[in-house]
Amino acid sequence: MCLSMLSPQMQIICCIQTLLLLGAQLALSIPNNFFYHDFRKGNGKKEIHFSGVKLHVDSPQPSVFAVTGDNVTLPCRFWYEPELSSPREPRVKWSWQPAGGGHETDVLVAIGSRSRSFWDFRGRVQIRQDFPGDAALVMTNLMLNDTGRYHCEVVDGLEDESISVYLDLRGVVFPYQHPRGHYHLSFMGAQQACEEQASTLATFSQLFQSWKEGLNWCNAGWLADETVQYPMTRPRVPCGGDSLAPGVRSYGRRHLHLHRYDVFCFSSTLQGKVYYLQPSHSMNLTEAQQTCQEDGAEVAKVGQLYAAWKLTGLDRCDAGWLADGSVRYPITRPRRNCGPSEPGVRSFGFPPPQHKHGVYCYKSGDE
Ligand SMILES: *[C@@H]1O[C@H](CO)[C@@H](O)[C@H](O)[C@H]1NC(C)=O
Ligand SMILES: *[C@@H]1O[C@H](CO)[C@@H](O)[C@H](O)[C@H]1NC(C)=O
Ligand SMILES: *[C@@H]1O[C@H](CO)[C@@H](O)[C@H](O)[C@H]1NC(C)=O
């Protein structure tokens, strides 16, 4: 407000106006008897004084891990200090910012026992209210795309306090290439490819975690934040040179339509069961589809095979068809004649559909 290019006299006038404005704000607050002060603490907790009473909000658990299909509780509680003689019903609002960025959207708003939920969260969320000040969000039937930062905001009059709880899924990151070949996917195509294989675009933190667990992949793939990266644990010449340190290498953000890469997908859950079937004879792709159908199942998707491998330890040294027309097999206990010495899902790529193999079927889960 007090611009230095103004003359000294003008600056003084300007500054007096600022003081008057501040005075007016102060005067406004006095009739309501509010003393307003924001203490920011290093640990992310915030406190506000009003009428000598402080509203506190915190969460005993700043991040929550789950698998899809779970019911989860995102903890959040509020209290007043000193304790109030009569109970108050502040407004509690939960909002969500998807993993990988994007707009924050409302999840639920509640006052006392009344609440309203929004969007895909409708009917799946409620406030727990197990004790006074319990504002934990209970979410049922967790979906792959529910991950991200959840914001618990408590509003009481002029007081407005909030904390964040991160929701992440236990699962597995896998590199995926389009059936038509290497580096074939735009960002939208990558998103679709993951969805078709019962998975979602991996986030950077999921890829980073997988890299720490040993994921070594030489082809660059899209991530949820629209960047293109690849994880290297053993640098070598065809993968950017052997002089570079191991790490997750990034090409940065790429053009969403023009640039084409592979993709890193993320799969969680198993609400169903993945199993190998091989009748007396091997099957081409059409016969494999029929065989699973006749068994009351469908051909497993790549994300389902990876989840079964990682989360339930599926181990089978037999190559089988999958829904995308690829042929793979899952190994948790590496042994001779079953591929490399590390556990993994081995792939034979996309053979011609008339080739003969077994099949991995998926039966969805309540039985
Ligand atoms: C989640 O909660 C719903 C109802 O609250 C219940 O029917 C369902 O069995 C629960 N699911 C799990 C996986 O606990
Ligand atoms: C999340 O995925 C489900 C199906 O898997 C879909 O119906 C829903 O619209 C998705 N939600 C968002 C916010 O993308
Ligand atoms: C698979 O074999 C059946 C005959 O058993 C044949 O009718 C079908 O065309 C074959 N499909 C493919 C993709 O080769």
Nearest CA, atom 2, ligand 2: 145
Q: What is the Cβ-side half-sphere exposure of residue 52, based on CA atoms within 13 angstroms?
A: 3
Residues 151 and 62 in one domain: yes
Query: Within a domain: residue 105?
Result: yes
69 CA to middle of ligand 1, Å? 9
HEC sequence for 139-158 = ECCCCHHHCEEEEEEEEECC
Nearest CA, atom 9, ligand 1: 71
The better pLDDT of the pair 151, 157 is held by 151
359 CA to middle of ligand 3, Å? 15
Q: Give tens-digit pLDDT for 87-133.
A: 788 999 999 998 767 789 999 999 988 899 998 899 999 999 999 89
What's the token pair of residue 118? 């929004």
Q: What is the Cβ-side half-sphere exposure of residue 208, based on CA atoms within 13 angstroms?
A: 5
Residues 180 and 206 in one domain: yes
Residues 125 and 66 in one domain: yes
> Which atom of ligand 3 lies closest to the CA of 354?
14
The better pLDDT of the pair 78, 69 is held by 78
The better pLDDT of the pair 24, 154 is held by 154
Per-residue model confidence (pLDDT) at position 145: 83
DSSP classification of residue 261 = B
74 CA to middle of ligand 1, Å? 15
Residues 283 and 262 in one domain: no
366 band by pLDDT with thresholds 50, 70 and 90: low
Residues 356 and 325 in one domain: yes
319 CA to middle of ligand 3, Å? 19
Domain termination residue (choose one: 267, 288, 308): 267
pLDDT at residue 262 is higher than 80: yes
Pocket perturbation via mutation, ligand 1, pick of 68, 70, 71 by most ligand atoms within 8 A of CB: 71
Residues 337 and 293 in one domain: yes
Provide the domain limits for residue 298: 272-364
pTM comes to: 0.68
Ranges 20-24, 262-266, 281-285, 341-345, most confident: 262-266
> Which atom of ligand 3 lies closest to the CA of 353?
13
Query: Within a domain: residue 4?
Result: no
Domain termination residue (choose one: 221, 247, 267): 267
Residues 85 and 165 in one domain: yes
Mean pLDDT to the nearest integer, 248-256: 90
For the chain, give the percent of residues with pLDDT over 70.
84
Q: Into how many domains does the chain fold?
A: 3
Q: Give tens-digit pLDDT for 216-243.
A: 888 999 999 999 999 988 877 777 777 7
| Dihedral sign, Cα of residue 121, residue 123, residue 129, residue 130 | negative
Per-residue model confidence (pLDDT) at position 5: 44
**Percent composition of the chain: helix, strand, coil (DSSP 3-state, to 5):** 20, 35, 45
Nearest ligand, measured from the Cα of 198:
2
Residues 152 and 193 in one domain: no
Coil, strand or helix: which one is 231?
Answer: strand
141 CA to middle of ligand 1, Å? 7
Q: Give tens-digit pLDDT for 298-342.
A: 999 999 999 999 988 999 999 999 999 999 999 999 999 999 998
What's the token pair of residue 277? 């079937």
Pocket of ligand 2 (CB under 6 A): 120, 143, 145
119 CA to middle of ligand 2, Å? 10
Query: Within a domain: residue 40?
Result: no
Q: Check if 70 has its Cβ closer than 6 Å to any atom of ligand 1.
A: yes
Nearest CA, atom 3, ligand 1: 140
Domain termination residue (choose one: 133, 153, 169): 169
Query: Within a domain: residue 222?
Result: yes
Q: Which residues, in sequence order, are bridge partners of residue 65?
A: 168
C-alpha to C-alpha distance for 263 and 260, rounded to whole angstroms? 9
Question: How big is the chain, counted in residues?
Answer: 367
The C-alpha torsion from 78 through 79 and 80 to 84, rounded to 10°, is 130
Residues 74 and 160 in one domain: yes
Pocket of ligand 3 (CB under 6 A): 284-287, 353-354
C-beta separation of 222 from 100 below 8 A = no
Nearest CA, atom 13, ligand 1: 70
Residues 61 and 157 in one domain: yes
CATH of the domain at 133: 2.60.40.10
Residues 161 and 63 in one domain: yes
Per-residue model confidence (pLDDT) at position 293: 96
Q: Angle at CA 178, nearest 5°, toward 172 and 179?
A: 115
- How many other CB atoms are there within 10 angstroms of residue 58's CB atom? 18
C-beta separation of 190 from 261 below 8 A = yes
Residues 282 and 244 in one domain: no
Query: Within a domain: residue 129?
Result: yes
Query: Within a domain: residue 345?
Result: yes
Distant-in-sequence, close-in-space partners of 152: CB < 8 Å, separation ≥ 6: 57, 59, 74, 76, 92, 93, 94, 135, 137, 162, 163, 164, 165
Nearest CA, atom 1, ligand 3: 284
Q: Across all residues in the chain, what is the average pLDDT?
A: 83
Q: What is the Cβ-side half-sphere exposure of residue 315, based on CA atoms within 13 angstroms?
A: 10
C-beta separation of 54 from 77 below 8 A = no
Task: Report which secondary-structure segment, H or E, holds 248.
Answer: strand 247-253
Query: Within a domain: residue 36?
Result: no
Pocket perturbation via mutation, ligand 1, pick of 140, 141, 269 by most ligand atoms within 8 A of CB: 140
Nearest CA, atom 9, ligand 2: 120
Helices (H) and strands (E) in the chain, counts: 5, 25
pLDDT at residue 43 is higher than 80: no
The better pLDDT of the pair 27, 72 is held by 72
CATH of the domain at 196: 3.10.100.10
Query: Within a domain: residue 324?
Result: yes
353 CA to middle of ligand 3, Å? 8
C-alpha to C-alpha distance for 108 and 120, rounded to whole angstroms? 11
> Which atom of ligand 1 lies closest to the CA of 69?
13
Pocket perturbation via mutation, ligand 2, pick of 118, 120, 304 by most ligand atoms within 8 A of CB: 120
Per-residue model confidence (pLDDT) at position 176: 97
